[in-house]
A = this chain, B = another copy of it.
Amino acid sequence: MAGPPTFDAEFRARFRDLLEWRRDVRKFRRDPLPDGTLERLLQLACLAPSVGLSEPWRFVVVREAARRDKIKSCFKACNAAALNGQAGDRASLYARLKLEGLDDAPCHLAVFADRSTTQGHGLGRLTMPEMIEYSAVLAMHTLWLVARAEGIGVGWLSILEPTAVTTILDTPPDWTFIGYFCIGYPVEECDAPALQREGWESRRPPPDTVFYR
Contact = CB atoms under 8 A, between A and B. Distances in A.
Interface of A: 3-7, 11-12, 14-22, 24, 39, 42-49, 51-55, 57-64, 67, 78, 81-82, 85-86, 90, 94, 97, 99, 110, 119-128, 130-131, 133-134, 137-138, 141-142, 144-146, 148-151, 156, 158-162, 169-171, 178-179, 189-191, 193, 195-196, 200-204, 206-207, 209-213
Given A7-B18, A22-B49, 20 more contacts: A4-B190, A6-B151, A7-B148, A11-B11, A15-B145, A19-B48, A20-B47, A24-B49, A43-B206, A49-B156, A51-B158, A53-B193, A53-B201, A64-B213, A78-B126, A82-B123, A125-B158, A128-B162, A131-B158, A137-B137
B195 A53 contact: yes
* CB-CB nearest 8 A-B residue pairs: A4-B189, A53-B201, A46-B206, A19-B47, A5-B17, A7-B149, A128-B158, A53-B195
Contact of A85 (B60, B64, B122, B156): B122
Contacts of A99: 123-124
A124 B46 contact: no
B15 A146 contact: yes
Nearest to A55: B204
Contacts of A124: 99, 158-159
A196 B53 CA distance: 8
A138 to B, nearest CB: 5
Nearest to A190: B4
A48 B209 CA distance: 13
- Which of A86, A134, A150 has the most chain B CB atoms inside 10 A of its CB? A134
Nearest to A2: B17
A144 B48 CA distance: 11
B21 A149 contact: no
Nearest to A119: B201
B52 A200 contact: yes
